[in-house]
Each structure stands twice: as structure tokens, then as C-alpha cells.
Amino acid sequence: MEEINNQEATNENLNFESRINLAPLLHSITAIKAELGTVIVGQSKMIDQMLVAILSNGHVLLEGVPGVAKTITAKLLAKTLNVGFSRIQFTPDLMPSDILGTSVYDLKKSEFEFKKGPIFSNLILIDEINRAPAKTQAALFEVMEERQITMDGTQYILDTPFLVIATQNPIEQEGTYRLPEAQLDRFLFKISIDYPILEDEITIIQREHSLQNKGKLENIKTILSSSEIKNYQSLVKQIIIEPQLIEYIAKIVVNTRENAFLYLGASPRASIAILNAAKGFAAIRGRDFVTPEDIKEATIPVLQHRVIVTPEREMEGISSIEIIKQIIESVEIPR
């Protein structure tokens, strides 16, 4: 009898319910996916990654050939969020002041007044980011990392949330400028978008036909406010991760620095990015704890733009994604 009572007491102490209430977050994520799904066909992996980036407070680089819905996806996502939205089309003649703003002399006040540029918003879509020269790209360094801008010795703190979604075309090289490693490192994810499969292509054509004269963004509903986004970002930070999984992340990243196929490995910023992204993937799956699968899912989009393949391996056609996959397979999964 005493043994049964002890067993009952033990069962009472075992609480299998989520320690963090993720129900409102999951409801919002499902609603956003439903809204995006009315226009975007397939690409569920890309949508998950973009939602994780928002929850992890990280920037996203979308890479794909023209016409695979990079820009429209960013605009649709902005429409589901009740936040400030700004679009900047990068061109070869774009200057840093066109993005950040400039000081203008006010004749009435007899003093200079800072006129804020389009970067002063919450969600920034930078279209064709590799079209602008190095000095314009460098203007984004401070704002992407520190969420602030320093002009004429004055610091301007940007409103939160602040998220940059940039697009680039990997095929066309004429009139483009390669993004510096320091800037690539500031993107949480690089998301590569492929062509749709046949069934999805048919659905895309059918939907376009049924739209007639209606716009794609007309019926998209707003789901999240800026305060809710900030609350969810704070909630995701609390997701639990065991010490052995932290060590697992570190081993993967350190392995990139020791890999003979890589000329440049990932920095500690990449380790932190995998941690935050893994928490985001756990959250959208309804879990308040990180699993090795969450880490694996986060690793490729976090690392693929942060490492450089050696010229010899690049000539052999080996990509950074293939090498990262090999690294993941070589590192023992914690039990």
C-alpha cells in the first residue's frame, strides 16, 4: 500500500504539460501561414524559416532566380503584421544617405535637421541588395547588428521589432556587387528558393487566372501587432535547451573552422544564431524545449552563407550546403 502511495506521489510530481504557454503563439503562426497560403503555393519550408526569423529577431537573405516570389512573399508577410513597412530598391547609384537619411539645413531655425531615411521602420524589404556598391552596403552594418544609426555624432535608436528581408539573384552577375562577409554574417538565415514542382506550378497558374483584376495583397488580413511580436520574441528566448545540446551546437560550428574543405569557418555569432533559430523552430512546433532535430533544421540556413568553400573544392562543384551536411552527420548527436 505504501509503495502504491509513493508511486502516486511520484506521478503527481511529473508534469508533462508545456512549462511555457505557447498556445497564443501557435495560433498566430497558424493564422499567418493560412494568409500566406492564399497566395504562396508550396514553399512551406521557406515560410517556416521566415517566421522563425521573426521570432528570433533575425534578418533574412532570400536568394533565388527571378520570378520565384521572393519579393511578394516579403510583402505578404509585412501585410500580416501591423508594423511599419518600408521597401528600398537597391540600384548602382544608391547612396548611404538614401537609406539612412541626411541632415538638411532649416532656414527658419538656422540649424541642421536630420531627415530620417526609409530604414527607419519595422520591416524593411531591400530588393536586389547586391545591386548597390560597397559603400551603400556598408551603411547597413551598424543598423543590422545594433538596431541603431549614428549620424553626425548622434545615435538614433530604431523602433522594435526591426527586421531586414533582403533579396538577391544568384545567377545574374553583371552590374552586381558581392556582399561582404561582414554583412552576410549579420543575416540570421540565407534562404535559397527553388523552382516549384509541376503540381505547384499548375496551382500558381490557376490562382493567377482566378484573380482576374484583383490584387494579390487585397484580402490579406493583419494577424500580429508589434507588441505581440515583441512578447513572442521574449517568450522564445525562454525556450529550454539542455547543456549537451549547447555543446552539440558548439561542436558543429568549431568543426567548420577545422574542416579541410572550408577556407573560412563560422564565427561565434553563428553559434548564437543556431541557438536562437533552434528555439524558434521548437516554438513553432509547439515545444518549450529544443531537440537535436531543431538544431539540424537551423544549421544549414544559418551556416551556408557564413562559410567559404576552398577554391579547389568549389572547382569540383562541391557546395557549402553539402559540406555542412557532412559536418552534421559527423558530429555525434547527444542522447
pLDDT at 18: 61
DSSP 240: B
Is the pLDDT assigned to residue 283 strictly greater than 60? yes
Beta-carbon count within 10 A of 233 CB? 17
H-run or E-run covering 163: strand 163-168
Is the pLDDT assigned to residue 115 strictly greater than 80? yes
What are the pLDDT digits (tens) for 173-217?
777 888 888 889 999 999 988 888 898 888 888 887 777 667 677
Q: Is residue 134 part of a domain?
A: yes
- As a whole-number percent, the residues of the chain with pLDDT over 70 amount to 93
Helix (H, G, I), strand (E, B) or coil at 106: strand
271 and 333: one domain?
A: yes
How many domains is the chain partitioned into structurally?
2
Q: Is residue 227 part of a domain?
A: no
For the stretch 172-192, what's the b/e string if a residue is b when 16 or more beta carbons lie within 10 angstroms of its beta carbon?
eeeebbebeeebbbbbbbbbb
Could you tell me the residue range of the domain that residue 306 belongs to? 239-335
pLDDT at 105: 79
**What's the CATH code of the domain at 100?**
3.40.50.300
Inter-residue contact 273 to 302 (CB < 8 Å): yes
Extended strands (E) in 107-153: 111-116, 123-127, 148-151
283 and 204: one domain?
A: no
Q: Is residue 300 part of a domain?
A: yes
Q: Is residue 191 part of a domain?
A: yes
Inter-residue contact 70 to 64 (CB < 8 Å): yes
Q: Is residue 221 part of a domain?
A: no
pLDDT at 9: 45
162 and 121: one domain?
A: yes
206 and 308: one domain?
A: no
When pLDDT is averaged across residues 114-143 and rounded to a whole number, the result is 90
Q: Is residue 158 part of a domain?
A: yes
| Residue 4 burial (10 A CB sphere; 0-12, 13-18, 19+) | exposed
* Through-space distance between the first and last CA atoms of the chain, rounded to whole angstroms: 36
Domain boundary residue, one of 170, 195, 210: 210
pLDDT at 213: 66
pLDDT at 274: 96
One-letter amino acid at 124 equals I
pLDDT at 12: 42
201 and 246: one domain?
A: no
Q: Is residue 228 part of a domain?
A: no
What are the pLDDT digits (tens) for 236-267?
999 999 999 999 999 999 999 999 999 989 99
What are the pLDDT digits (tens) for 133-178?
888 888 899 999 999 998 888 889 998 899 999 999 887 777 788 8
DSSP 66: T
176 and 283: one domain?
A: no
124 and 34: one domain?
A: yes
Domain boundary residue, one of 168, 195, 210: 210
pLDDT at 11: 44
Residues 6+ apart with CB under 8 A from 327: 252, 255, 256, 259
**What's the CATH code of the domain at 290?**
1.10.8.80
Q: Is residue 98 part of a domain?
A: yes
**Could you tell me the pTM of the whole model?**
0.86
